[in-house]
Structure 1
Amino acid sequence: SEFAIKTKGEVESVEAFGDLVVAFRDGRPTWLRDVARIEDGMEDERTYAALSGKRGVSLDVRRQSGENTVEVAKEVRRIVEVLRASAPGGVKLVIARDVAHFVESSVNDVTSDMIIGGLLAVLITFLFLLNPRTTLIVAVAIPTSIVSTFFALYVADFTLNMLTMMALSVSIGLLVDDAIVVVESIHRYVQEGETPLRAASLGVKRVGSAVLAGMLAIVGVFVPIAFMDGLVGQFFFQYGLTVSFAVAVSFLVSMTLTPVLSTVLLRKDPEKRPFARPLLVFHHWMEEKYTALLGATLRHRWVAIVGLFIAIAGGGFFASLVPMEFMPLTDRSEFTARIELPLGTGISETKRVAARLASDIKQLDVVEEVFLTVGAGVQNKVNEAEFYVALTPKQTRERGQFEIMDEVRQLIQNRAPEVKAYSLSEIPWVSGGTAAAAQIEFLIQGQDLAYLGSVAEDLADRMRASPAFADVSTSYDPGKPELQIHIDREKAADLGVSVDRLAGTVRALIGGVVIATYEEGGERFDVRVRLEEHQRDDLAKLGLLQIISATGDLIDLDNVATIEVGMAPVEIDRMDRSRSISISANNSRSYTLGQATTVLDGLVAEINLADGYSSRTEGAAKLMAETAVSIISAFGMALIVIYMIMASQFNSFAQPAIIMLCAPLAFIGAFMAIYLEGAGLSMFAQIGLIVLMGLVMKNGILLVEYANQFREDGMDAVSAIMQAAPLRLRPILMTALSTVFGMLPVALSVSDGAEWRRPMGILVIGGLMSSTFLTLLIVPVVYTLAADLGHSIRSGKDKLRIRFQSNNPNPAE
Structure 2
Amino acid sequence: MHHIIDSFVNGALKGRYLTLGLTILLIFFGLVAWKLLPIEAYPELANPQVRVITLLPGKGAEEVERLITVPLEKEMNGIPNQTALRSLSLYGLSVIISTFSDGTSTNVARQQVLERVHEADIPAEAQPHLEPDVGSLREIYRYSLHSTHYSPMGLRAIEQWELEKQFRQVPGVIGVVSEGGPTKTFQVTVDPYKLRSYDISLKDLYEAVAESNGTTGGGFIEHNGNALIVRELGLLHDQQDLLKVPIKSSANGIPVRIKDVATVDLAPMVRRGQVGKDEEDDVVEGIVLLRRGENPSRVLEELNARLPEILKHLPATVELTPLYDRSQLTNQTLKTVGTNVAIGITLVIVFLSIFLVNVVSALITAVAIPLAMLTAFICLATLGVPANLLSLGAIDFGILVDSAVVMTENIVRRLSEDGQKLSPQERLTLLGDAAREVGTPVVFGIIVIIATFLPIFTFNGVEGKLFRPLATTMVCALVGGGLAALALVPVLCSFFMLKSKTVEHESPLVVFARRLYKPTLQWALKHTNIVIGLALAAVIASGFLFTQVGSEFLPHLEEGNIWLRATIKPGSVTLPESVKVSREIRLTLLKYPEVKQVLSQVGGPDDGTDPARFADQEHYVDLKPAREWRPQYHENKELLIKDMRDDLQQLPGVEYYFTQYIQTTLDEALSGVQGSLVAKVAGPDLQELEKLGHEVGRIMAETPGIVDVIVDPLLGQPQLAIEIDRDKAARYGLNVGDLQDLVEIAVGGKECTKVIDGEKRFAVIVRLSPNYRSSEESLRTILVDTPHGGKIPLMDVATIKEIVGATQIWRDGGSRMATIRANVRGRDLAASVNEAQAKVNAELTIPEGYSVQWSGEFQRQREAIHQLSIVLPITLLVIISILYISCGTLRGAVIMFSVVPLAAIGAVCALLLTRTYFSIAAGVGLIALFGLAVKNAILLVSFVNELRHDGHSVYDSVFNGSLTRMRPVLMTAVIAAVGLLPAALSNEIGSQTQKPFAIVIIGGLVSCTLLTLYVLPALYLRFAPNVGRSRKMKPKTEPEQASEPALLSPTANEHSEER
Instruction: Establish whether TM, by shorter chain, passes 0.5.
Output: yes
Show the 5 A alignment for 1:491-570. Answer: 491-570=728-807
Show the 5 A alignment for 1:230-249. Answer: 230-249=461-480
- Find the partner of 1:178 among 403, 408, 419: 403
> So what's the TM-score if we normalise by structure 2?
0.71
1:298 aligned partner, one-letter code: L
Measured after TM superposition, the shift of residue 493 of structure 1 is: 2.6
1:151 aligns to 2:388 (yes or no): no
1:357 aligned partner, one-letter code: I
Aligned partner of 1:292 in structure 2 is 519
- Find the partner of 1:17 among 217, 242, 251: 242
Within 2, Cα distance between the matches of 1:514 and 1:155? 53
1:318 aligned partner, one-letter code: L
Measured after TM superposition, the shift of residue 103 of structure 1 is: 1.4
Within 2, Cα distance between the matches of 1:576 and 1:254? 55
What SS does the aligned partner of 1:750 have? coil
List per-residue Cα deviations over 1:724-749 (Å, max 9, x = no partner). 00000011101111111111111111
Measured after TM superposition, the shift of residue 249 of structure 1 is: 1.4
Measured after TM superposition, the shift of residue 329 of structure 1 is: 3.6
1:693 aligns to 2:919 (yes or no): no
1:308 aligns to 2:308 (yes or no): no
Measured after TM superposition, the shift of residue 270 of structure 1 is: 7.9
Measured after TM superposition, the shift of residue 771 of structure 1 is: 0.6
Aligned partner of 1:811 in structure 2 is none
Within 2, Cα distance between the matches of 1:190 and 1:790? 27
List per-residue Cα deviations over 1:601-645 (Å, max 9, x = no partner). 222222232333322211111111111122222222221222222
2:298 aligned partner, one-letter code: E
List per-residue Cα deviations over 1:349-377 (Å, max 9, x = no partner). 11111112112212211000111122226
Q: C-alpha root-mean-square deviation of aligned residues, in Å?
A: 2.4
List per-residue Cα deviations over 1:630-670 (Å, max 9, x = no partner). 22222222212222222112122222221111111111211
List per-residue Cα deviations over 1:569-594 (Å, max 9, x = no partner). 23332222222222111112x12322
Q: Quick check: 1:685–1:763 contact (8 Å CA) kept in 2? A: yes
Instruction: Percent identity, please.
Output: 27
List per-residue Cα deviations over 1:215-245 (Å, max 9, x = no partner). 1000001122233222211221121011111
Within 2, Cα distance between the matches of 1:584 and 1:198? 70
Aligned partner of 1:389 in structure 2 is 621
Q: Quick check: 2:566–2:657 contact (8 Å CA) kept in 1? A: yes
Q: Which has the higher contact order (CA 8 A, sep 6+)?
A: 1
Measured after TM superposition, the shift of residue 62 of structure 1 is: 2.2
Q: Quick check: 2:667–2:676 contact (8 Å CA) kept in 1? A: no
Show the 5 A alignment for 1:169-318. Answer: 169-170=395-396, 172-194=397-419, 195=422, 196-266=427-497, 279-280=507-508, 283-318=510-545
- Find the partner of 1:426 among 660, 664, 667: 660
1:109 aligns to 2:336 (yes or no): yes
List per-residue Cα deviations over 1:386-437 (Å, max 9, x = no partner). 11110001222243223222233223321x2142x33221233596666962
User: Which has the larger share of helix?
Assistant: 1
Aligned partner of 1:417 in structure 2 is 652
- Find the partner of 2:981 among 740, 744, 751: 744
What SS does the aligned partner of 2:333 have? helix
- Relative to structure 1, the CA distance from residue 261 to residue 492 in structure 2 (aligned partners, 3 Å threshold; closer, same or farther) is closer
Measured after TM superposition, the shift of residue 25 of structure 1 is: 4.5
Within 2, Cα distance between the matches of 1:159 and 1:405? 34
Aligned partner of 2:584 in structure 1 is 356
Show the 5 A alignment for 1:411-490. Answer: 411-414=647-650, 416-419=651-654, 421-429=655-663, 437-490=674-727
- Relative to structure 1, the CA distance from residue 11 to residue 667 in structure 2 (aligned partners, 3 Å threshold; closer, same or farther) is closer
Aligned partner of 1:760 in structure 2 is 997
- Relative to structure 1, the CA distance from residue 519 to residue 271 in structure 2 (aligned partners, 3 Å threshold; closer, same or farther) is closer
Within 2, Cα distance between the matches of 1:101 and 1:283? 45
- Relative to structure 1, the CA distance from residue 368 to residue 218 in structure 2 (aligned partners, 3 Å threshold; closer, same or farther) is same
What SS does the aligned partner of 1:442 have? strand
List per-residue Cα deviations over 1:768-804 (Å, max 9, x = no partner). 001100011111121122227999xxxxxxxxxxxxx
Q: Quick check: 1:733–1:772 contact (8 Å CA) kept in 2? A: yes
Measured after TM superposition, the shift of residue 327 of structure 1 is: 1.9
Within 2, Cα distance between the matches of 1:149 and 1:271? 35
2:621 aligned partner, one-letter code: V
Show the 5 A alignment for 1:640-651. Answer: 640-651=877-888
Q: Quick check: 2:680–2:820 contact (8 Å CA) kept in 1? A: yes
User: Which has the larger share of strand?
Assistant: 2
Show the 5 A alignment for 1:666-745. Answer: 666-745=903-982
List per-residue Cα deviations over 1:25-82 (Å, max 9, x = no partner). 5445433222112223332333322332334321111222221121122222223332
Measured after TM superposition, the shift of residue 318 of structure 1 is: 2.4
1:51 aligns to 2:277 (yes or no): yes
List per-residue Cα deviations over 1:694-728 (Å, max 9, x = no partner). 11111111111011111112233222111200000
Aligned partner of 1:374 in structure 2 is 602
Q: Quick check: 2:589–2:595 contact (8 Å CA) kept in 1? A: yes
Within 2, Cα distance between the matches of 1:5 and 1:127? 91
Report which stretch shifted further, 595-604 or 174-183. 595-604
- Relative to structure 1, the CA distance from residue 428 to residue 379 in structure 2 (aligned partners, 3 Å threshold; closer, same or farther) is closer
- Relative to structure 1, the CA distance from residue 433 to residue 457 in structure 2 (aligned partners, 3 Å threshold; closer, same or farther) is closer
Q: Quick check: 1:343–1:481 contact (8 Å CA) kept in 2? A: no
Measured after TM superposition, the shift of residue 766 of structure 1 is: 0.8
Q: Quick check: 2:892–2:1025 contact (8 Å CA) kept in 1? A: no
1:385 aligned partner, one-letter code: Q
Within 2, Cα distance between the matches of 1:186 and 1:647? 27
Q: Quick check: 2:667–2:857 contact (8 Å CA) kept in 1? A: no
Within 2, Cα distance between the matches of 1:56 and 1:217? 58
List per-residue Cα deviations over 1:147-198 (Å, max 9, x = no partner). 333333333333443133224x32x101221112112212222122324313
List runs of 5+ in structure 1 lacking aligned partners: 792-813
1:38 aligns to 2:269 (yes or no): no
Q: Quick check: 1:485–1:562 contact (8 Å CA) kept in 2? A: yes
Q: Quick check: 1:459–1:603 contact (8 Å CA) kept in 2? A: no
Q: Quick check: 1:49–1:56 contact (8 Å CA) kept in 2? A: yes
What SS does the aligned partner of 1:372 have? strand
Report which stretch shifted further, 98-107 or 571-580. 571-580
Within 2, Cα distance between the matches of 1:700 and 1:202? 22
- Relative to structure 1, the CA distance from residue 189 to residue 451 in structure 2 (aligned partners, 3 Å threshold; closer, same or farther) is same
List per-residue Cα deviations over 1:117-170 (Å, max 9, x = no partner). 112112212222222332232122223333333333333333443133224x32
- Relative to structure 1, the CA distance from residue 671 to residue 481 in structure 2 (aligned partners, 3 Å threshold; closer, same or farther) is same
Q: Quick check: 1:51–1:96 contact (8 Å CA) kept in 2? A: no
Aligned partner of 2:321 in structure 1 is 94
Measured after TM superposition, the shift of residue 10 of structure 1 is: 4.6
Within 2, Cα distance between the matches of 1:309 and 1:220? 26
What SS does the aligned partner of 1:580 have? strand
Q: Quick check: 1:501–1:547 contact (8 Å CA) kept in 2? A: no
- Relative to structure 1, the CA distance from residue 260 to residue 516 in structure 2 (aligned partners, 3 Å threshold; closer, same or farther) is closer
Measured after TM superposition, the shift of residue 8 of structure 1 is: 5.0
- Relative to structure 1, the CA distance from residue 448 to residue 521 in structure 2 (aligned partners, 3 Å threshold; closer, same or farther) is closer
- Find the partner of 2:828 among 592, 595, 600: 592
1:209 aligned partner, one-letter code: T
Within 2, Cα distance between the matches of 1:85 and 1:584? 45
- Relative to structure 1, the CA distance from residue 546 to residue 290 in structure 2 (aligned partners, 3 Å threshold; closer, same or farther) is same
List per-residue Cα deviations over 1:471-490 (Å, max 9, x = no partner). 21223422311101233333
User: In the comparison of the two structures, how many residue pairs are matched?
Assistant: 781
- Relative to structure 1, the CA distance from residue 405 to residue 506 in structure 2 (aligned partners, 3 Å threshold; closer, same or farther) is same
What SS does the aligned partner of 2:264 have? coil
Within 1, Cα distance between the matches of 2:763 and 2:366? 72
Aligned partner of 2:642 in structure 1 is 406
Within 2, Cα distance between the matches of 1:489 and 1:263? 101
2:656 aligned partner, one-letter code: Y
Q: Quick check: 2:686–2:714 contact (8 Å CA) kept in 1? A: no
